[in-house]
A = this chain, B = another copy of it.
Amino acid sequence: MNITVWNEFRHEKENQVVADIYPEGIHGAIAGFLEGEDHVVRTATLDEEEHGLTDEVLNDTDVLVWWGHKAHEEVSEEVAEKVKQRVLDGMGLVVLHSAHFSKVFKKLMGTTCDLKWREADDKERIWVVDPTHPITEGLGEYIDIEKEEMYGEHFDIPAPDELVFVSWFEGGEVFRSGATFKRGRGKIFYFRPGHETYPTYYHEEVQKVIQNGVKWVNNGGTPKNVYGNAQPLEKISEK
């Protein structure tokens, strides 16, 4: 499996707090725990040529992990459309945290993907509501995160194909924080935690979820569908 971890990679350059937490960038941290025997992990970032997502890279990517926050608008329409198309053609997509507002996710969902938020060191408890789902493998009943940004309902997404996690926040909100979608031939997993000023991507259970998510969205080599004008398979009567 070829994985590409995409990161906006701006906060790390502009905010010392973030740089201290993620010295290799958020993409570096995520790539770190995704590496493994059966995986080749690449990273790509906004400020590279074509945001690091050339046709060559995209065509060679089975699963794309996406983190972005403050520079969604700087992702070119062309690249966003290409990524969307690759998902529809079968590439898996893991969308993390503030990437709910990325061009790619919004194009695939068709909604605003808006939500409530607050940076106030809320405790977050992520409850498993679908213990049958492979994405929950190896977890207990919930994941506790001591401090995180809050995301609250209403989360303006289509009803997920599967709702896997629901978050409880100390300040009184809930959030559908783990959700799967199928679009075209591609599988998508949205997972909420991961604000840049917290060390969330070092949390072992968060890592486990992302590892499971990457496995789950990987769709193998599904063939292309056939569309367009089609000959009848059965004889049509004269009328």
Q: Which of B123, B141, B239 contacts A146 (CB 8 A)?
A: B239
Whether A68 sits at the interface, judged by CB under 8 Å, is no
Which residues of chain A (137-173) have a CB below 8 Å from chain B?
137, 140-141, 146-147, 150, 152-156, 158-159, 161-163, 166-173
Instruction: Give the distance in Å from the alpha carbon of A182 to the alpha carbon of B110 in the complex.
Output: 11
List of B residues within 8 angstroms of A222 by Cβ: 131-132, 136-137
Of chain B, the residue at the smallest CB distance from A166 is: B174
Tell whether, in the assembled complex, residue B128 and residue A154 are in contact, meaning their CB atoms are under 8 Å apart. Answer: yes
Q: Among B121, B137, B182, B227, which residue has its beta carbon within 8 angstroms of that of A236?
A: B121
A159 near B146: Cβ-Cβ < 8 Å: no
B-side contacts of A227, CB under 8 Å: 112, 114-116, 154, 156
Measured CA separation A141–B123 after assembly (Å): 22
The proximity string for A residues 82-118 relative to B, scoring 1 for CB distances below 8 Å and 0 otherwise, is 0010001010000000000000000111111011111
Copy count, this protein chain: 4
> B141 near A225 (CB under 8 angstroms)?
yes
- Out of B90, B129, B185, B234, name the residue touching A176 (CB < 8 Å): B129
* A172 contacts B234, C-beta separation under 8 Å: yes
Cβ A153 vs Cβ B127 within 8 A:
yes
Could you tell me the distance in whole angstroms from the C-beta of A119 to the nearest C-beta in chain B? Answer: 9
B158 touches A182 (CB 8 A): yes
- Does A183 interact with chain B (Cβ within 8 Å)? yes
Does A192 interact with chain B (Cβ within 8 Å)?
no
Give A188 to B15 CA distance when docked, in angstroms: 44
Closest residue of chain B to A126 (Cβ to Cβ) is: B174
Q: Please determine whether B170 and A116 come into contact, CB atoms closer than 8 angstroms.
A: no
| A121-B232 Cα distance, complex, nearest whole Å | 11
Given A114-B227, A226-B116: A167 touches B174 (CB 8 Å cut-off): yes
B173 adjacent to A118 (CB under 8 Å):
no
- Whether A111 and B232, one on each chain, are in contact in the complex, defined by CB atoms closer than 8 angstroms, is no
> Can you offer 21 A-B residue contacts whose CB atoms are under 8 A?
A84-B110, A107-B110, A108-B110, A110-B183, A122-B236, A123-B239, A125-B172, A130-B182, A132-B185, A132-B186, A137-B222, A152-B230, A158-B181, A159-B161, A159-B162, A159-B182, A167-B174, A168-B172, A168-B173, A170-B236, A172-B234
Return the 6 tightest CB-CB contacts between A and B, nearest first: A171-B232, A172-B233, A172-B234, A114-B227, A116-B230, A110-B110
